[in-house]
Amino acid sequence: MKRNVTLDFIRGVAILGILLLNINAFGLPRAAYLNPAWAGHISLSDAWTWALLDLFAQVKFLTLFALLFGAGLQMLLARGKRWIQSRLSLLVLLGFLHAVLLWDGDILLSYGLVGLICWRMVRDAHGVRQLFNTGVLLYLIGVAVLLVLGGIQGNGSDRSWVPGAAALQYEQLWKLAQGGEAVSQRLGSLSDSLLALGAQYGWQLAGMMLLGAALMRSGWLAGRFSLAHYRRSGWLLIALGMTINIPAIVAQWRLGWDYRWCAFILQAPRELSAPFQTIGYAALAFGYWPKLARFRLTAAVVCVGRMALTNYLLQTLICTTLFYRFGLFMQFTRLQLLAFVPAVWAVNLLFSLLWLRHFRQGPVEWLWRQLTARAAGVRLAQKHKHPGA
pTM of the predicted model as reported, rounded to 2 decimal places: 0.93
Q: Which domain holds residue 330?
A: 5-384
Region class of 2: left (phi > 0), else alpha (psi between -120 and 50), else beta: beta
d(Cα 110, Cα 116) in Å, to the nearest integer?
Answer: 10
d(Cα 38, Cα 35) in Å, to the nearest integer?
Answer: 5
Give mean pLDDT in consecutive 10-residue pieces for the chain, a chain of 389 residues. 88 97 95 92 94 96 96 95 96 96 94 97 95 97 93 70 92 91 93 93 97 97 96 98 97 93 92 97 98 96 97 97 95 96 98 96 96 88 47
DSSP H helices, 125-224, are: 128-153, 165-177, 179-196, 202-217
Note the pLDDT tens digit of each residue in 80-118.
Answer: 999 999 999 999 999 999 999 999 999 999 999 999 999
Residue 132 lies in a domain: yes
Give the mean pLDDT of the chain.
93
pLDDT at 388: 40
pLDDT at 382: 52
Note the pLDDT tens digit of each residue in 281-337.
Answer: 999 999 999 999 999 999 999 999 999 999 999 999 999 999 999 999 999 999 999
Residue 389 lies in a domain: no
Domains identified in the chain, total number:
1
Q: Is 158 exposed, middle or buried (0-12, 13-18, 19+ CB in 10 A)?
A: middle
